[in-house]
Amino acid sequence: MHHHKYRLIIPFLLPAALLYGVFVVWPYAQAIYVSLTSWRGVSANRPFVGLDNYQRLWEDDRFLEALSRNGQLLIVLPLVTIAIALTFAALFTQGGQAIRGAAFYRIVFFFPQIIPAVIVGILWSYVYTPNIGLLNGILGGVGLDGLKRSWLTDPTTVLWAIVAVAIWSSVGFYMVIFIASMQSIPTSFYEAAVLDGATRWSSFKDITLPLIWESIRTSVIYLAIAALDFFILVIVVSGGSTTMGATRAEVAALYLYNQAFDKNRWGYASAIGVVLLLLTLLLSVIIMRATRRETYQF
């Protein structure tokens, strides 16, 4: 009986497994092999160097500094994005007590999500322009000229200016995820809590958070992966510059790009990519285990 079942299932799984192997597994295998070579990307010859590239990485101060910025993003990006998204989702949905105009606000906050990341980066690069940018114009208009600066060249602000763009463009997506989770919670839970004298905050803390925890957990994983793969906005908002080490905005993915396309060190760049892959897998496992909680059924 079981034998016949597998004979039926395998033909359906085989095409998908083949495509996955060709377009996912095989490129990963190639990247791992290239990371063990000193390939320059311009010849068929790939001299094998073993683990030399990985040893150089641990001695590369610029890579470690770039990776430390990713570590800062791992803390700031998930915490701030999820906090803002949860706040808006609760205001627009929790317990069927949405604020007035909630439907309109949902559209407004989700709108950045439908704009491609490259377009978002270009738009915000103009917002941050020192002389004619919207941000400095608003600061000057309200009398805060002392806060005006060149946001994308100032070493103290460039990274966080780009992080602000990432948060702005991501909040709407996670807000919608949390809204969908909150709408699945029976309103009778909140009605009973109100009868017991619960405030909106206590209802959020004791009812909403535990019941949407799986959505929060998944969002943390997605945002953690995004923090490690923080590349598109950095290079687009900066105007395409690949020499941003001096401006303190170079993250690991941008350093990988520099090594591959500026210096033709494809073997070394592949080693950086493999390290980022392993860190992503390790981080995902750690977050899944650290955030595991009892699930609630209703």
* CATH architecture group of domain 35-290: Orthogonal Bundle (1.10)
Dump the DSSP string for 134-172.
HHHHHHHHTT-GGG---TTT-TTTHHHHHHHHHHHHHHH
41-52 average pLDDT score: 85
Q: Is 95 a residue whose pLDDT tops 60?
A: no
pTM score: 0.84
Q: State how far the Cα of 51 lies from the Cα of 15, in Å rounded to an integer.
A: 35
For position 2, what pLDDT does the model report? 57
For position 97, what pLDDT does the model report? 64
Q: Is 84 a residue whose pLDDT tops 90?
A: yes
- Both tokens assigned to 191: 């009605």
Torsion of CA 186, 191, 192, 194, to 10 degrees: 140
- The pLDDT tens digits of the residues spanning 249-293 come to 788 998 998 898 888 899 999 999 999 999 999 998 998 888 876
Q: State how far the Cα of 212 lies from the Cα of 61, in Å rounded to an integer.
A: 41
- The pLDDT tens digits of the residues spanning 143-173 come to 888 888 888 887 888 888 899 999 999 998 9
